[in-house]
Amino acid sequence: MGPLVSLSENIGTGRLVDRFGRVHDYLRISVTDRCNLRCLYCMPAEGVQFMDSGRLMTDEEIVRVVRVAARLGVRRLRITGGEPLVRPGIDRLIEALGAIPGIEDMAMTTNGVLLARRAERLRRAGLRRINISIDSLRPDRFAVITRGGDLSRVLEGLKAAERAGMSPIKINVVLLKGFNEDEIDDFLRLSIEKPYVVRFIEYMPIGHEDETWKNAYLPLRRVLDRCEELGYEIEPVQVPGNGPAENWRIRGGLGAFGLIHPVSEHFCAACNRLRLTADGYLKPCLYWQEEFNVRRCGGDEKAIEELFFRALDIKPERHEMAEALEGKSRSHTPTVRRMSQIGG
């Protein structure tokens, strides 16, 4: 870890370096908090209050923030939500973001329900990479985890993304004890048979550190144990992307699998990301409550720039999800936003 750098040293350098020497070149943008699914680990079953459309950042506002971010060294974007494909005109927004000087890479995370008819248009708008969330390959179980989702539509979306030439295609699987842990073998097999990157993700306590989380949380060590039990030879591989995943290939497989284990083994030392919520708050860390209202700056790009530095200046060294699991007290206050409001 580098020496501590203060806000005043950073302003004017044109680089997003925080107090711990971490360079930030990656922005995750939630374009809506709305969703056409209600995944168990992401949203409550009922009583979700979605933002009025007036509270959502407009295309123009998002483009302005990204223009400033790109001047400060942000090179990569991820479009997420809520479900990004329910935002009207999402392909126009993607096209506008991709045209901003400095932006080199853009990807999207989607539940895939609306992807079949949109993949081609999104690809033409400049989206080259996509992550599709599929927590179960069994239709009945998929419907339970997503509270009503239709797996066949998501699989159609997956095929359409492939046909449109998106690559690599990543499949996000949140592993949940007692729900889908018995599908680890099926997902590993999928990474052998198809050129997908299956990313196993630990269930995180974002906006809810309750018993549901503690009971369903599963450390990802389980996946490597299964590889050993199944006699798979695995080797580390590099996969294009910006994330903290540790990636492996099963020898002879067409694809790969990744492990994202924020709770059992945090990767904060290598954190390169900031987040923008759908209502225009800049979040230095997914876990903590601190956030900065970008919309207050109006069209003043200098003020937005300063906000980026303020966000970096208070970014804590790490999250404390593991402490939450052990019931220990935390150094700051965790966010009350749910994942659907931050974007993952």
**Binding interface with ligand SAM (CB under 6 A):** 35, 41-42, 80-81, 83, 109-111, 133, 172, 174, 201, 203-204, 206, 339-340, 343-344
CA 19 vs CA 23, 24, 76, 245, 255: distances in Å: 10, 12, 21, 24, 37
Q: How many residues does the chain have?
A: 344
* Closest CB to ligand SAM among residues 13, 152: 152
Query: What does 43 bind: ligand SF4, ligand SAM, none (CB cut-off 5 to 8 Å by kind)?
Result: ligand SF4
Shortest reach from residue 37's CB to ligand SF4, in Å: 4
Pairwise CA distance, residues 284 & 254, whole Å: 36
Stretch that binds ligand SF4, among 11-19, 76-84, 198-206, 265-273 (CB under 6 A): 76-84
Task: Tell which one of 16, 17, 31, 42 touches ligand SF4 (CB under 6 A).
Answer: 42
Residue 199: CA atoms inside 13 Å, Cβ hemisphere, count?
22
72 binds ligand SF4 (CB under 6 A): no
Closer residue to ligand SAM (CB): 207 or 305: 207
For position 83 contacting ligand SF4 by CB under 6 A, the verdict is yes
C-alpha distances in Å from residue 24, one per residue of 15, 72, 259, 274, 285: 8, 9, 22, 7, 12
Which of ligand SF4, ligand SAM, none is residue 66 near (CB under 5 to 8 Å by kind)?
none
What DSSP line would sit under 86-136, residue for residue? GSTTHHHHHHHHHTSTT--EEEEEE-STTTTTTHHHHHHHT--EEEEE-S-
Which does residue 172 bind out of ligand SF4, ligand SAM, none, counting CB within 5 to 8 angstroms by kind? ligand SAM
By the 8 A CB rule, do 311 and 283 touch? yes
Q: What is the DSSP letter of 245?
A: -
**Which residue number, 261 or 315, has a Cβ lying nearer to ligand SAM?**
261
The reply to whether 180 sits near ligand SF4 by the rule CB under 6 A is no
- C-alpha distances in Å from residue 161, one per residue of 90, 111, 117, 179: 16, 12, 10, 27
Enumerate binding residues for ligand SF4 (CB under 6 A). Answer: 35, 37-39, 42-43, 81-83, 111, 133, 339-340
